[in-house]
Amino acid sequence: MIIIIQCKDRVGLVADISRILSEAELNIISMREHVDKAEDRFFMRLEVDGIADEIPLELSLTQILPKGAMISVNPVPDKKIVVMVTKEYHCLADILIRNNFGTLGATVLCVIGNHSVLQKICDRFDIPFFLIPYHEDKAVSERDIIFKIKAYQPDYIVLAKFMRVLSPQFVANFPNKVVNIHHSFLPAFAGASPYKQAFERGVKLIGATAHFVTDDLDEGPIIAQQIIPVNHSFTAADMVKSGKEIETSVLAKALHLVLNDRVFVYKNKTVVFE
């Protein structure tokens, strides 16, 4: 059983939580906790062994925790996700392979694309693919996507190189439920052909960032990041290849953390228990 807690900090929280679990005859086999002193915020993830009714246990914890505490007892272990794509295959392919062999930590319910390029790979893995192109009226397209997503009721939505900016109205339907992956360059390059820009500038580091989507473009709470060195011997094509590999790796790591309830969001930051 997994228990996750986020609340205002105070003296004796760990002792009180441990007492409640002991009274329920639950043995703590893993406990991770963190206090953000600047925000006076307490975060905890527990793995416990034993059998207990989830609702009474959550009620007991609520009674001893500060008002407004966020508690989840034994969140659904088998998450469900919807994937959104455009034309790039590398992140989607990795997700579909992991899903096929049962190592993703979630079930892919469907894939939604604004181009049909990736339908064939979805067909090979027997995953429903829905083509919803973007029209001149963006709101209409997003309405259709939201309708399709809600029909599946996923736990999370994964943007596997979905190359469209989502509106605040879209994001508001799925707060802290949309995970995105994008490149990270030092220095940063925005707009079209970022790898070409990086090559022409002679960058020495490229990387990737996975984050939750908010109204601020690519500035949501960060889940995972990674960088790798490059040098003068790299061609633009080499940078693209390396960039795709690191994007795939970082998204896979981020999904592992999120799907295993190891990521806590508070304001625009995350606490990640790896």
What pLDDT, on the 0 to 100 scale, is given for residue 196? Answer: 86
Domain C-terminal end among 25, 48, 74: 74
Same domain, 261 and 203: yes
> How many structural domains comprise the chain?
2
Same domain, 28 and 52: yes
Mean pLDDT of 46-74: 95
Determine which one of 126, 218, 238, 261 is catalytic: 218
Same domain, 249 and 201: yes
Which percentage of the chain shows pLDDT scores above 90?
87
Domain C-terminal end among 74, 104, 134: 74
Same domain, 95 and 148: yes
55 vs 40: CA distance, rounded Å: 27
Sign of the alpha-carbon dihedral angle for 234, 240, 243, 249:
negative
Same domain, 141 and 253: yes
Contacts of residue 12, Cβ cutoff 8 Å, sequence gap at least 6? none
**CATH code for position 206:** 3.40.50.170
Distances (CA, A) of 105 to 74, 80, 101, 102, 247: 15, 9, 10, 7, 19
Q: Are 20 and 50 in contact (CB under 8 A)?
A: no
User: Which of 84-88, 99-103, 236-240 is predicted with the least confidence, judged by mean pLDDT?
Assistant: 236-240
Range of the domain at 236: 79-272
Mean pLDDT of 201-229: 93
Distances (CA, A) of 194 to 203, 217, 242: 11, 16, 13
Residues 187-205 pLDDT 10s: 778 777 888 888 888 999 9
Residues 125-140 pLDDT 10s: 999 999 999 988 899 9
Q: Taking 70 as the threshold, does the pLDDT of residue 169 lie above it?
A: yes
**CATH code for position 24:** 3.30.70.260
User: Which of 39-43, 74-78, 243-247 is predicted with the least confidence, judged by mean pLDDT?
Assistant: 74-78
What pLDDT, on the 0 to 100 scale, is given for residue 173? Answer: 97
Same domain, 27 and 89: no
Q: Taking 70 as the threshold, does the pLDDT of residue 262 lie above it?
A: yes
What pLDDT, on the 0 to 100 scale, is given for residue 186? Answer: 66
Mean pLDDT of 102-116: 97
Distance of CA 166 to the CA centre of its chain: 16
Same domain, 99 and 222: yes
Beta strand pairing status for 79-85 and 263-266? Answer: unpaired
Same domain, 50 and 153: no
123 catalytic residue (yes or no): no
What pLDDT, on the 0 to 100 scale, is given for residue 136? Answer: 83
Same domain, 53 and 180: no
Q: Taking 80 as the threshold, does the pLDDT of residue 224 lie above it?
A: yes
Residues 17-57 pLDDT 10s: 999 999 999 999 999 999 999 999 999 999 999 999 999 99
Domain C-terminal end among 74, 106, 127: 74
Same domain, 24 and 51: yes
Same domain, 163 and 57: no
Same domain, 105 and 165: yes
What pLDDT, on the 0 to 100 scale, is given for residue 184? Answer: 86
Q: pLDDT tier at 167 (50, 70, 90 boundaries)?
A: very high
